[in-house]
Structure 1
């Protein structure tokens, strides 16, 4: 072992965790479990806003984030605010809001761990996410696949046509030309499509997110993208 190599390994192995949950008992339980596992808990707060203050610029590897905080912010906003702190986000959730789980993953959460799992499973998940790994969320994937509200955004055929062409890479003007409609009408269709995805907890604000939704729902195959046409 070269000089300094041991110290570097020790630094790499130290996992720094922050906890955000609006139930004090949950915060205390997760903190105790993390500290028992040898993780350093930098802060445990009731909201992401409080976490910003508590961290005071300190680097954090993983933020264990409650799915439904009573702070007035959406799931997407809380996940993205947490990500802006430079940490991976592990959503800690109960299993009754599948749409919100999907929203959290779409917003950039590294994974979701149910609150009902054994403590060691949660600890292992934190370690996996901290090291850049991907969680095997098969139970959550199964729940999402089985949820009819998730699977159906209830798009009309014309809306599906617009989404197919637009998500494939065509500009809105070409989408309108292909469908023989006005550009303003095509834009109205896109607005309706976005609204319908929001209703089922699957926001699609950007063109990339619309592409993801189209692929997820079988409206577009990845090899149909028109970027190079």
Structure 2
């Protein structure tokens, strides 16, 4: 989680011009964003100072190779907030990245107007749905929608609208432990349906896909 209002970023991308542009965009950001390191391989995110960065901006196709699914999965499983920032805009690639637990997905054509807010949202663990990601989610017609109870849905939607589970607990008159229990149950239901949602961003994507919340409500 970003501290003192400053979000830190490590960039994994093998195009120097992309990295330079991203550094410049972040330098002009408000609230502030600082790129602490960059590299052409995922190693930049596993060694200091990139290891302690709040957010990893990750190119899915490094050196023109096949999608780096394994590297993305490793980062997510290590608890990193990963924004995939790559050239591909097809729905299937975007949905796979979200299922692997990416915080957000942006096509490189979307530029600073969407990338910088996504980085800031990731640093504060707030939902973010850039355009390419929103299109992929809204047109996802795959089966596997779990049946949530009204209370589970209520807790989930309020969590999307609040900055913390503590705020949800106060709003709904519940304990934080109970809020966590409801959210954990929702995650289990999605996992059992074959649509895992290990992060808040992934749960937002699932909720939009299943009509539990609209994009304009986030």
User: Shorter-chain TM-score category?
Assistant: 0.5 to 0.7
Q: 1:99 to 1:210 in 2, by over 3 A?
A: farther
Tell me the residue number matched to 1:105. Answer: 98
Unaligned runs of 5+ in 1: 1-9, 154-162, 169-206, 222-229
**Bigger-Rg structure (1/2):** 1
Unaligned runs of 5+ in 2: 148-188, 197-204, 211-218
Q: In the TM superposition, what are the counterparts of 1:1-229 in structure 2 within 5 Å?
A: 11-37=3-29, 38-55=32-49, 58-70=51-63, 74-84=67-77, 86-137=79-130, 139-143=132-136, 146=139, 151=141, 209=191, 211-213=193-195
- Name the count of aligned residue pairs: 155
SS at structure 2 position matched to 1:128: helix
CA distance in 1: counterparts of 2:68 and 2:141, whole angstroms: 19
What TM-score do the two structures reach when normalised by structure 1?
0.54
Displacement of 1:71 in angstroms is 7.7
Displacement of 1:55 in angstroms is 3.1
What TM-score do the two structures reach when normalised by structure 2?
0.57
SS at structure 2 position matched to 1:16: strand
**Which structure ranks higher in relative contact order (CA pairs < 8 Å, sequence separation ≥ 6)?**
2
**For each residue in 1:148-177, what CA deviation from the matched residue of structure 2 results, as whole angstroms up to 9, or x when unmatched?**
xx7579xxxxxxxxx99xx99xxxxxxxxx
